[in-house]
Each structure stands twice: as structure tokens, then as C-alpha cells.
Amino acid sequence: MLNDSSHNDNEPSIVTSYPEQSIDWLTRLIAFDTVSRHSNLALIKDVKTYCEQLGLLVDLTFNEAQDKANLFVTVPAGKAGGIVNNGLVLSGHTDVVPVDGQDWTSEPFTATIRGSRLYGRGACDMKGFIACALTLLPRAAELSKSGQLKRPLHLALSFDEEVGCLGAPLILADLKARGITPDYCIVGEPTNMTMVVAHKGIAVYRCRVHGKSAHSSLTTQGVNAISYASRMVDFVDDLAQELSVRHDGDALFDVPYSTLSIGTIQGGTATNIVPNLCEFTFDYRNLPHMTQEDILAPIQAKVAELSAQMQARAPETGIELLQEVGVPAMTDSDSAELQQLIAALTSDNKRHKVAYATEGGQFTNAGIPTIICGPGSIEQAHKADEYVELNELERCDSFLQRLLDSCC
């Protein structure tokens, strides 16, 4: 049962009508604790049962441990059992970020309405969109059975987006194996129902410097891992500065150039010991027209140069460069038709580009034109008291209904 708490003077005034079905679904979805470190199978099983009750065929793909699954369901064009191999994908991730250490006013895994907002972990990122998409399915199934649906409608729900977009590649590989090549994809990340046409890519690297220990009074017998790590850090910072003054930026991004940033560093055991290990992490946020190779090649050359210097003093030393996360940028180079469709449905011609990454880049890399459009604000994501405005759910419901009509 949805908890409708008393009105707070600091909250917006309560709205007079709610999108009831989407609220019911969002309440149901929030109740599943799908923090990325946990299984999402209970949620997936619930959605699978619902889809099968509508007469839809559901396909699941699992992670290696078999404790997480993606769900892909198709409403075929024409009468039931008709065309399934193209169409439009509505995409969302089922995992959410942790609530550890956050000061929540209400229970994070119990949907709570205060004023005109629904609070709960995942309310905007991104179970709100999934709730609206699930609300749409019964009407889509009816249109399919009556033969009015001329373009298939797909729903893709993934796992582990928040920890590196790990689930979506399995969906895409499965679609390729089954010969399904969707025409378009809409990723329902929170954008306040505005159209995001591109985002940067993300690559996270760990640089591990292996030195040789010695007493600090005998420094010539050791190789100082921290000292060599600091040279690598300086090199990465210099490269970041070079990226910031390139002449091929994109003013539609808040930060109009690709960025490099040192994130963590640790090393050493005591002041009187030459450290034998130091490691740091950095991330690269690339504009869609740039690649990882643009920074990886010069960094690898610097790694080789410094490793050679270290190994001249002690053969067992050197520097490792390990990639921990890689999420491709989402490009707008092939989505002009989709953008025109979304602009017409939303009566909004504005195009936005963002620095955060989504599964949209994986869809565009697979040759599927993609945009991002969903209810809620990214500013509310990942925080205590995460919420979505109820009128955003209403706007999303209306948008998806018009989108479905366009498939007829």
C-alpha cells in the first residue's frame, strides 16, 4: 500500500489527480531492494509473470552467477505472433545505488507520497520510467491483437547499470543472435521529459606502480613507487590540460571538452620505508567524436618510459595500467529521424547533451539510433530522499501513449 504521509509546508502543494497505475507500479518496483550488490531476480520474476499474463513472450539473459537477469519482452506488430524483428525499444535498468550512510526522512524501499512528490530509492533513477512503460503494455498488447500495431514495441530491463553498464551488452548480444534489429531506442533515464541526444563516454583506469622496498636510509637500494606514481599523476594532469584547450569541443555539453580526473591514490607503509607499491585511479570522460585511444596511447607510452627507468634499477619493478570500467559515448550522428519524432511528440525542439553516461552508448554502438528521455531530474538521483514529481509520471504516461500511437 502506498504511504501517503501528511503534507509538509516545505513540499509543493498536493496535486489533484495522480497517474494511478504508474504510481501503483512504481510502488511495487521500489519495494524490491535491487541495490547493485543484490540480486534483481525477484523484480524480474514479478515483471515476467505480468508480461506473460498479457500473452507476451519474455526472454531472459543471466549473469555468470545466475543471480541477476535482464528481461526483454516484445509486443509484436500485427496480430499476436507477428513481426518482432524491428520496432522501438523502451530501455531501463532495474538496479539502484545504495542507501548506506544516507539520512532518509522515510523508508527508502517504501514508496511515500509527500505533497506532489513520490519518494523512494529508484523513484527517478529509473524505476519511474519502468513503471510508466509497464503501465503501457496492456494497451500495446490489445493493439497488437487487433492488428493495429504496425511497429513492434520492446521493453528491455537490465541489471548492473550503476556499476558499469554490465547487463545491456548481454541483451544486445542476444538480440543479434535472434536477428532482432530495433529501429530506435529510448532510454528512460531522468531528464525531466526533455530530449537528450548525446552523452560522453566513461573509462576508469587503475594505475598500479610496483617499486622495491628498502630502508629509507638506503634509498639507492630501493625503487620508490610513490615517486614514480607522482610522475604518472603529473602526466595525466598535463594531458587533461591539453584536452581542455583543443579546438574540437562541443558547446552543447556543460563541460565542452573531454576530461581526465585523478580519483583516488594510496601507497606506502611507513615513513622510514621506501614504498614498494602505489596505485591511483583516474577517469576519462570523452566527447562522442573522441575515443579512449586518444588518451590511452600517450599514457601507455609514458608507462613504458617510466617502467624502463625503474627496471634498469630493479627488474621486478614496473607499472601496470588496468581498465576497470568502459562505457561508450552516445552519439547523435544517426538519430535525426528519432529526434524529429520525439520533438513532435513532446512539442519541444530542444536538444541536450550530458556528461553522465547511460546504456544509450551501448545501443548506439550496436547501430540502434537512441535518445534519452524520462521522468524526474538527475539532480535527485543517488541522494537521500530521492523523489519523482507525480506530474512527471503523468507527462511520461502521456508521452508513451503518444509514442505507442505513432507505432500504429
Residues serving a catalytic function are 95, 161
Nearest to 88 by CA among 327, 328, 337, 331: 337
Tell me if 183 sits within 8 A of 151, measured CB to CB.
yes
Give CA angle at 162 (157, 166), nearest 5°: 65
Quote the CA–CA distance of 37 and 68 in Å, as a whole number: 10
Q: Is the peptide bond before 290 cis (omega within 30 degrees of 0)?
A: no
Query: Which residues are CB-contacts of 322 (< 8 A; sequence separation ≥ 6)?
Result: 205, 206, 207, 208
Q: What's the chain's Rg over C-alpha atoms?
A: 24
Q: Taking a C-beta distance cutoff of 8 angstroms, is the pair 370, 184 a contact?
A: yes
For 346, the grid coordinates are 513532446
Distances (CA, A) of 198 to 204, 249, 339, 357: 20, 14, 11, 9
Give dist(CA 370, CA 343) in Å, integer.
14
Beta strands, E only, 94-159 = 112-114, 117-119, 153-158
Look up residue 306 and give its three cell numbers.
617510466
C-alpha distances in angstroms, 270 versus 208, 216, 274, 326?
A: 19, 10, 8, 34
**What CA–CA distance (Å, rounded) separates 168 from 259?**
25
Q: At what angle do helices 127-145 and 390-406 cross, to 10 degrees?
A: 30
Distance CA 399, CA 360 (A): 19
- 177 burial type by CB count under 10 A (0-12 exposed, 13-18 middle, 19+ buried): exposed
